């Protein structure tokens, strides 16, 4: 690494792998996810934003900014490392940003298309994990069930990354907040309004906002609010960081004066049978010019993509100067490079405290 002021990160790989090999399983089912200490920084996996806590979220965002500014400094930092990705759902941004990110750090990436059957359909998941840990250095999963990711992390002695599940999308939310920091200079003094379905993206935005001490308002129809345990965990973190969390049903109340307006598909993958019903319920939550006018004049529009133009958002908003959707997509690459670097022990010194929060 060149001497450009880039601050390294202390490697914990040996210690982490030793913990996973010698200790009892760290995780049970997803119902016990709330037991993870949010203050933990050095974590063996990124299964949930809760694995990172405030210090981990801050470190990833700081490192992602450095890697984005000085990409050549990190070109060989993961040389010889191998990553495998198992995806039960289709992907454009997630797959390509992980592959490009790993290769740009000097490692190699392998992809297994699991869209035709679930990961544990042919053999016991623990058997899959014990095979993979002998062949590769890191596992990336994009699954329907959070339980699949929890179980893989429990059994595999190499790092596991949640690249999307029905419960969380941690990499997306980290990239979203990197985008906000780039635009506004900080997250703590900003308010993000999310309108639509209280889904996995909403969950990870809640947890990330809580870790950063930021303000978030989430407006959903009755019956589509975020998971109560996720909300409870976010509020527990917020009690330490000073974050503000509001759960609403009125999209205009959520958006009023906000610095960012965010939405996602009304019907997530795996809920296609509910599509007609949701199409009747969600139109008041469409992000259009009228709703954006309720936000602050400098407000940006955000979407994790793919977007259903004409449903959750209009073309006018998607293609407006306020839209930062492609900045979000780009930042998936930089955030995921930072995650790979940290989980695989790419550095050997702790960072100075960030000015982000």
Paired tokens of 355: 């000015």
Number of H helices, E strands in the chain: 13, 9
Paired tokens of 72: 């050549």
- What are the strands, taking DSSP E only, across 95-174? 108-113, 138-142, 160-162
* Measured CA distances, 197 to 40, 64, 201, 256 (Å): 29, 28, 9, 19
Paired tokens of 252: 């205009």
What whole-number distance in Å separates Cα of residue 235 and Cα of residue 245?
7
CA 48 to chain centre: 8
What whole-number distance in Å separates Cα of residue 297 and Cα of residue 137?
46
Provide the 3-class DSSP secondary structure of residue 268: coil
What whole-number distance in Å separates Cα of residue 164 and Cα of residue 64?
19
67 neighbors 1 (Cβ within 8 angstroms): no
Cβ neighbours of residue 32 under 8 Å, at least 6 residues apart? Answer: none
What whole-number distance in Å separates Cα of residue 156 and Cα of residue 127?
9
* DSSP structure class, residue 295: S
Cβ neighbours of residue 231 under 8 Å, at least 6 residues apart? Answer: 206, 225, 245, 247
Paired tokens of 156: 């595999």
What whole-number distance in Å separates Cα of residue 117 and Cα of residue 119?
6
Catalytic residues, by residue number, are 142, 169, 172, 264, 304, 332
292 neighbors 267 (Cβ within 8 angstroms): no
């Amino acid at each position: 690494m060149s001497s450009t002021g880039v601050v390294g990160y202390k490697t914990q790989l040996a210690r982490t792998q030793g913990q996973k090999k010698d200790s009892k399983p760290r995780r049970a089912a997803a119902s016990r996810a709330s037991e993870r200490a949010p203050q933990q920084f050095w974590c063996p996996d990124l299964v949930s934003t809760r694995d990172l806590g405030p210090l981990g979220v801050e470190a990833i965002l700081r490192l992602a900014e450095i890697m984005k500014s000085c990409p050549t400094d990190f070109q060989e930092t993961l040389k010889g490392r191998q990553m495998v990705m198992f995806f039960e759902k289709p992907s454009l941004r997630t797959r390509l940003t992980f592959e490009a990110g790993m290769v740009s750090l000097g490692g190699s990436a392998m992809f297994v298309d699991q869209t035709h059957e679930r990961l544990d359909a042919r053999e016991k998941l623990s058997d899959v994990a014990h095979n993979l840990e002998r062949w590769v250095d890191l596992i990336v999963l994009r699954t329907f069930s959070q339980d699949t990711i929890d179980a893989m992390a429990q059994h595999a002695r190499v790092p596991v990354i949640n690249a999307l599940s029905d419960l969380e999308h941690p990499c997306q939310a980290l990239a979203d907040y990197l985008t906000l920091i780039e635009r506004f200079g900080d997250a703590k003094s900003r308010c993000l309004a999310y309108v639509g379905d209280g889904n996995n993206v909403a969950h990870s935005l809640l947890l990330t906002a809580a870790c950063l001490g930021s303000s978030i308002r989430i407006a959903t129809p009755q019956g589509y609010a975020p998971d109560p345990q996720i909300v409870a965990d976010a509020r527990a973190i917020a009690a330490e960081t000073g974050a503000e969390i509001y759960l609403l049903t009125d999209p205009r109340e959520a958006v009023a004066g906000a610095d960012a307006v965010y939405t996602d598909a009304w019907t997530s993958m795996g809920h296609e049978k509910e599509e007609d019903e949701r199409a009747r319920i969600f139109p008041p939550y469409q992000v259009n010019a009228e709703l954006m006018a309720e936000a602050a004049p400098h407000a940006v529009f955000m979407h994790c993509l793919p977007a259903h133009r004409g449903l959750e958002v209009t073309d006018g908003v998607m293609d407006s100067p306020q839209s930062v959707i492609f900045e979000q997509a780009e930042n998936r690459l930089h955030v995921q490079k930072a995650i790979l670097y940290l989980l695989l022990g790419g550095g050997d010194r702790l960072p100075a405290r960030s000015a982000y929060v």
